[in-house]
Amino acid sequence: MSIDKVYPTCEAALDGLVHDGMLIAVGGFGLCGIPENLILALRDSGVRQLTVASNNAGVDDWGLGLLLRTRQVRKMISSYVGENAEFERQYMAGELEVEFTPQGTLAERMRAGGSGIPAFYTRTGLSTLVAEGKPQEVFDGETFVLERGIKADLSLVKAWKGDRFGNLVYRKTARNFNPMVAACGRRCVAEVEELVDIGSLDPDQIHSPGIFVDRIVKTTSVKRIEQRTVQPTMG
C-alpha cells in the first residue's frame, strides 16, 4: 500500500469506488462536518439506487439533500430527517425507503461495524416501532433488542486536518459521526481542509488513524449554516 493517499480532486478520489446499489456511510450532523464536496462528486458520478447511512439527509439544497433531489438514493438509514422537505415528500409518497434508527444506536451500529462486531443488544427502542421484527433477549431480567452493525461499502468523511497517510483530526463538534463512519466502511475517502506532511500531527490528537482511510483530498468548505437565528435590530 502506498503511504501517499492524496488525490487531486474529489472526482478522482471516488473513481473506481462507486457503483449502483451500494451502501454508503456519510459523516456529519446537520450540515456540520459533512463531506460536502465528496457528496457533490458522488452526485455528479451518476450512481443510483444508493442506500445511505447518515444521521440526517442534509437540507433540500445542500448535503445529501442534493442526492435526494436527483433521485439517486433508494433508502436512508437515519436518525433525524426533519430539515428536508424533499425527504418528507418522497417518504410520504412511498418513493424512498427509510430505516429510522435512534441516534445513539446509529452511532453504535457504525462503531460495531468498524470493530468487526456483527450485532449487539440495546434497550433503546424497546416497545416501539423501532423494535418491530427484531430479535429480543432477556439479560438479568431486562429485555433488549438486537441491532445489526453497519458495514458500508464506502465511507465518506470530512476532517479539519489530515496527513498524506490519511490520519485525521476533526474540529470540535464537526467530529460527531465522522470517526465511526470512517471505521465502518470497507473503503474510506476523506476530504480535509488542511493537508499536512506525515509526522506533523500529534499522535495523541489523531481521531481517525490512517489505517481506516484509503484516499484523501484537500477541499475548500462552503461553511453553510443550517439554521440562523439573529436578534432583531434595535432602533
- Which pLDDT score, from 0 to 100, does residue 28 have? 96
What b-and-e string marks burial along 171-184, b requiring 16 or more CB atoms within 10 Å of the CB?
eeebbbbbbbbbbb
**pLDDT tier at 1, thresholds 50, 70, 90:** very low
Residue pLDDT, tens place only, 29-52? 999 999 999 999 999 999 999 999
Range of the domain at 103: 10-116+149-218
What b-and-e string marks burial along 65-101, b requiring 16 or more CB atoms within 10 Å of the CB?
bbbbeeebbeebbbbebebbebbeebbeeeebeeeeb
Residue pLDDT, tens place only, 10-19? 999 999 999 9
Question: Is pLDDT of 224 > 80?
Answer: no
In the block, residue with C-alpha cell 489505517: 211
- Which pLDDT score, from 0 to 100, does residue 64 have? 96
CATH number of the domain bearing residue 55: 3.40.1080.10
Give the C-alpha separation, 26 to 155, whole Å.
6
- The DSSP secondary structure of 167-190, one letter per residue, reads -EE--GGGGTTHHHHHHHEEEEEE
**pLDDT average, residue stretch 202-214:** 97
Question: Is pLDDT of 78 > 90?
Answer: yes
**pLDDT average, residue stretch 101-110:** 97
The SS3 assignment for 155 reads strand
The answer to whether position 127 is within a domain reads: no
The answer to whether position 78 is within a domain reads: yes
The answer to whether position 82 is within a domain reads: yes
Question: Is pLDDT of 2 > 80?
Answer: no
The answer to whether position 128 is within a domain reads: no
Q: What's the domain count of the chain?
A: 1
The answer to whether position 103 is within a domain reads: yes
Question: Is pLDDT of 231 > 90?
Answer: no
The answer to whether position 188 is within a domain reads: yes
DSSP letter for 230, please: -
Residue pLDDT, tens place only, 140-184? 999 999 999 999 999 999 999 999 999 999 999 999 999 999 999
The answer to whether position 122 is within a domain reads: no
The answer to whether position 37 is within a domain reads: yes
From first CA to last CA, the distance across the chain in angstroms is 64
Residue pLDDT, tens place only, 86-100? 999 999 999 999 999
**Residue 232 vs residue 199, higher pLDDT:** 199
